[in-house]
Chain A
Amino acid sequence: MAVISRGFGARRRDSDPHLPPGQYLTEDFPVLSAGPTPRIETEDWRFGIRTEAGTTVSWTWDEFLALPSEDVHTDIHCVTRWSKLGTSWRGVSLDTLLDGVDTDAGYAMAHSYGGYTTNIPLDELRDGQAWVAYEFDGEPLDPEHGGPARLLVPHLYFWKSAKWVRGLTLMDDDEPGFWEQNGYNMHGDPWAEERYW
């Protein structure tokens, strides 16, 4: 039998079909990180992809900015239950970054400056589903939101969109990243509420 909380609901918010189950709408842009915000100078920044065979391709900041970029308009959903609708980003598609990378790997581990990691099926980084983003709302991405560049994988809970991303390691087998070792789901689909273990 359902548990009813007596008298609850007077201040309710409008529901929105773009909100996954258990989420609420925010107009702010909350921050969730496990430690201090790393400050990375763009002259020191590199982004690299290492395949399961050990070969590596990498880009400096200038090389990265010279790649074709895309405007991305998307909703984002944090496992701490806020969602923000219609956000605007600019970044380089993972399709572009993975183009020419010879791999049969099934999974990727994203690595960040500061030591953060998160795992994502490689298929879910392809086909226009993921970017390395460096602008938010037309401005350079703030460090507290992951600048100079963060992963953007908006169809998964936002902890998968690793801030301060520095590269991907491609893996044959799935392995847990940081939050995935600390209680959060290996996959993280907000529409299936894949929040926790």
Chain B
Amino acid sequence: MTVGGWSAARVVGVADVTPSARVLHVTVPGWPGSAAGQHVDVRLTAEDGYQAVRSYSLGSYGPSDTIELAVDEIPDGEVSPYLVRDVLPGDELEVKGPLGGYFVWRAGGAGPVQLIAGGSGIVPLVAIARAAKDAGAAASLRLLYSVRTAEDAIYRDELERGADDGGVAVTWRYTRTAPDGWQGGVGRIDIESLRSAVWAPAQRPIVYVCGPTGFVEHVADALVELGHAPERIKTERFGGA
């Protein structure tokens, strides 16, 4: 995996998926393909030459030269509001990648895999869930997805089809408001919710945790407390703007 320079890319599709997030499809001629869980750098250049670069996880994986980003708007940011509010099909930007060789999943591994997402941390885990489904390995994966409300869940429809559709089984956790008829608790992930939703430590799962720093710190600490081996917990945290 050697990262080349910047590739010109064109936005070919945008879809608003939550009040603050948008899924973008971007065609990158010459894209080498990516593994599930990798990310890209995106560079935007203004007409006067001003540039800004940010990293975004890929919701897509595999060889297609149209990649998928899901971007959550950070209100005081300078790049995410552009990508969520302003960008239109046909607009151009630049992409470098794929990046990252650690927070990735590849078909063929033995044993169960647990995915745990907070908020927009779902994006690389959706790529992993899709890859597992396509590889016929979805039954060995579980996903625990923590969101404020159902409306804040990126990829909600796809994930709700979940195991019924041959995909990864999803356990939802609502931190603020649960949908009508919700039987479970509401609040942030705690030891009990991990105990019931996550493969047991004795099954020696590999655990992928992605979300804001506070979420990842909290969940990773709780997993260790539950008896999961620290070296089997892979984390990806994001912050900044």
Name A residues whose Cβ lies closer than 8 Å to a Cβ of B: 2-13, 22, 24, 26, 28, 30-38, 80-82, 114-115, 144, 178-179, 181-183, 195-197
Contacts and interface: CB of A to CB of B under 8 A. Distances in A.
Given A28-B240, A183-B1, A197-B2, A4 B234 contact: no
A33 B230 CA distance: 12
B237 interface: yes
Interface residues of B, number: 52
Nearest to B42: A5
Interface of B: 1-3, 6, 8-9, 41, 44-55, 77-78, 81-82, 86-88, 91-94, 99-103, 213, 216-217, 220-221, 223-224, 230-231, 233-235, 237-241
A31 B239 contact: yes
A80 B9 CA distance: 21
A11 B140 CA distance: 44
26 contacts: A3-B9, A4-B46, A4-B92, A5-B46, A7-B82, A7-B91, A8-B45, A10-B82, A11-B81, A11-B82, A13-B78, A24-B52, A24-B78, A24-B240, A24-B241, A30-B237, A31-B217, A35-B220, A35-B235, A36-B220, A37-B217, A82-B240, A182-B102, A183-B99, A183-B100, A196-B99
Contact of A7 (B54, B86, B230): B86
Nearest to A195: B3
Nearest to B48: A9
Contacts of A7: 82, 86-87, 91
B91 A6 contact: yes
Contacts of B224: 36
Contacts of A182: 100-102
A195 B77 CA distance: 23
Given A4-B92, A24-B240, A182-B100, A36 B2 contact: no
Given A3-B92, A5-B92, A30-B213, A183 B235 contact: no
A36 B45 contact: no
Contacts of B235: 33-36
A81 B99 contact: no
Contacts of A2: 45, 49
Nearest to A2: B45
B220 to A, nearest CB: 4
Leading 5 A-B pairs by shortest Cβ distance: A9-B46, A30-B239, A36-B220, A182-B101, A196-B3
Contact of A12 (B52, B88, B233): B52
A81 B238 CA distance: 11
Nearest to A143: B217
A194 B58 CA distance: 23
Given A24-B54, A36-B235, 6 more contacts: A4-B46, A11-B81, A30-B238, A35-B233, A195-B3, A196-B99
Contact of A30 (B3, B52, B220, B240): B240
Contacts of A13: 52, 78
Contacts of B230: 35-36, 38, 114
Nearest to A29: B239
A13 B52 CA distance: 9
Contacts of B88: 6
Nearest to B76: A11
Given A3-B93, A3-B94, A8-B86, A34 B47 contact: no
Contacts of B46: 4-5, 8-9, 12
Nearest to B6: A3
A5 B87 contact: yes
Contacts of B81: 11
Contacts of A178: 102
A75 B92 CA distance: 33
A81 B54 contact: yes
A10 B3 CA distance: 30
A57 B234 CA distance: 32
Given A30-B213, A196-B99, A3 B53 contact: no
Contact of A37 (B87, B92, B221, B238): B221
